[in-house]
A = this chain, B = another copy of it.
Amino acid sequence: MKPSIPKGTRDFSPQEMVKRNYIFDTIRKVYQSYGYQPIETPAMENLETLMGKYGDEGDRLIFKILNSGDFMDGIPPNTLDSKSLTKHISEKALRYDLTVPFARYVVQHRNDITFPFKRYQIQPVWRADRPQKGRYREFYQCDADVIGSDSLLNEIELIQIIDEVFTKLEIPVIIKINNRKILQGFAEMIGEPNRMIDIAMAIDKMDKIGWDGIRKELAGMGINDSQAEQLRLLLLSGINLNIESLKNSQYYANHKEFAKGIDEIVFIFNTCSSLFTLHSSLAFDVSLARGLNYYTGTIIEVKVDTSKCASQFTSSICGGGRYDDLTGIFGLPDVSGVGISFGADRIYDVLEELNKFPNDIVASTKVLLINFGEKEAIYCLQVLRDLHVAGISAELYPDAKKINKQFEYADKRNIPYVVLIGQDEINKGVLKLRTMASKEEKEMSSSELIKYLTSI
C-alpha cells in the first residue's frame, strides 16, 4: 500500500507551515487591531443549515457525512437513486464557507452577542470542486464581518484593513468596488427588475466566458438579445464614465436604487481620499459583480496590481461585500452585515512568485547539542535546561551517531549553532560553540554561551 491523501488536499511541511503562519498572523493582527474578535464554528454543520444557500452548483459541491451506525436501517426499499438516498443517510456536512455558519452562529447566540458584532474567523472550508492548479478541496478562509450596523464606515474600515494587510505583505493591489444597487438599477433599466442576481452571476463570468458567453447565459434565462445589448452598453458607459459623471446622468435622476448605489460609492471614495493615503489603488468598476447571491450593497474585489510588480496573477485574492439579510434565512430578519475574506492560498502563491516571504521567518532551533555518548548526553541535558530557561530554543541530538551525521542534521534543519561537549570539555567545565556558517569554533563556559546567544 502506497500512502497517499485524497485528491485536492495537501500536507503542509514545516517550511510551508512557517510561511502560511506568516500570512495568517499578519491578517489576524490587523483584524485584532481594528477590534475584530475571533470565533470558531464546528467543521460539521447540519446538512439543512448549508443546503440551498449556495445555489444548485453549491449544493452538489458540499461534502456530506455518512450517518454513523446502521444507516440503511428502515430506508424505504426503492430509495436507491443517489439524490433521494442522500437525505436518508446523511444529516451532516462539512462547511462550504465561513459566512453561512457565521450567520447561523449569530442567530443561535443572538442573546449573548453585543451588537454591532465584529468577528473574524480563520478556518478551513471544504468543496468537492474538480481539483486543478490553485484550486483545492480543503482550503483556509480568513473572514472578518461586522453584523448589526448599516453604516458605510464599516465599508471604509474594511478597505483600510485590506490596504493595511497587503501593505504589510508588500503586495501592491487594486481594490475594486461596486454596488449591487447599481446593478439593480441596470436590471430595472432593461426591464428585468427581479433578475439582478441572475444578471450579476452572469456578468461575474466575464473574464472566463467573455461577452458572447454572457449573452448566451442571459438568453438561457429568457433575457433577449436587445436587453442584453442594452445591458452591455450600460456597463460600457459605466466603465467609460467616472463616478461624478454617473451622478449627473439621467439614470441617477430616474432610478432610486441606482442613485443610492452611486451615493454610497461616492461617500466611500470621498471619505477615503480626504482622509488617508491608501497604499493600494481604489477603483470603481461598474462591471464588478461577485458570484455570491446574498450581496445587496457594496461589493469589493482585490487583485494584484500587475502594473506595479512582476506578478502574473489575475485571480482575486480577497473579496467581500454587504448583505442586508443573511441572518433572515435563520429567523433573524433585518440585520445588515458586511464582510471580507482573504484567500490565504492565493496570497501564498503570489508571495512565492514575488519572492516576498521575509527571510527571518524560517527560524527554527537555534542550537544543536552534539551527542557524544550516554554520559556526555546526560551532562548536556543540564546545559539544555539552562538554555531553555533563558528562552533559547535548543535541542540535543538524541543518538550518539557520527559527528558528521549530526552536523548534517543541523545543516538540513537550518540550525545556526552547534555546541560540542566531549569528555575533555566536561573535565575543563567548558563547551565548544561552532558557528555552522563559518565553521568557526570557540571555547566558552555555558553562562558565556547564554550571554552570547541572547545578545545576537
Contacts and interface: CB of A to CB of B under 8 A. Distances in A.
Interface of A: 1-6, 9-14, 17-18, 21, 32-35, 37-46, 48-49, 60-61, 63-66, 68-73, 75, 80-82, 85-86, 89-92, 94, 104-105, 107-109, 112, 114, 116, 118-119, 124, 126, 128, 137-138, 146, 149-151, 153-154, 156-157, 160, 164, 271, 274-276, 329-331, 364-365, 368, 371, 377-378, 381-382, 385, 388, 391-399, 409, 412-413
Contacts of A409: 114, 116
Contacts of A69: 60, 82
B86 A66 contact: yes
A60 B1 CA distance: 22
A92 B398 CA distance: 37
Nearest to A117: B14
Nearest to A400: B151
A409 B412 CA distance: 52
Contact of A42 (B11, B149, B385): B11
B32 A393 contact: yes
Nearest to A89: B66
- Chain A interface SS verdict (over half): mixed
Nearest to A127: B68
The 8 closest A-B pairs by CB, nearest first: A35-B395, A9-B42, A14-B37, A35-B365, A151-B398, A68-B128, A114-B412, A149-B398
Given A10-B42, A13-B109, A14-B38, A1 B331 contact: yes
B11 A364 contact: no
- Copies of this chain in the oligomer: 2
B388 A6 contact: no
A71 B82 contact: yes
A65 B68 contact: no
Contact of A12 (B35, B40, B371): B40
Contact of A378 (B68, B150, B160, B275): B275
A413 B32 CA distance: 13
Given A39-B17, A398-B149, A66 B68 contact: no
A385 B275 contact: yes
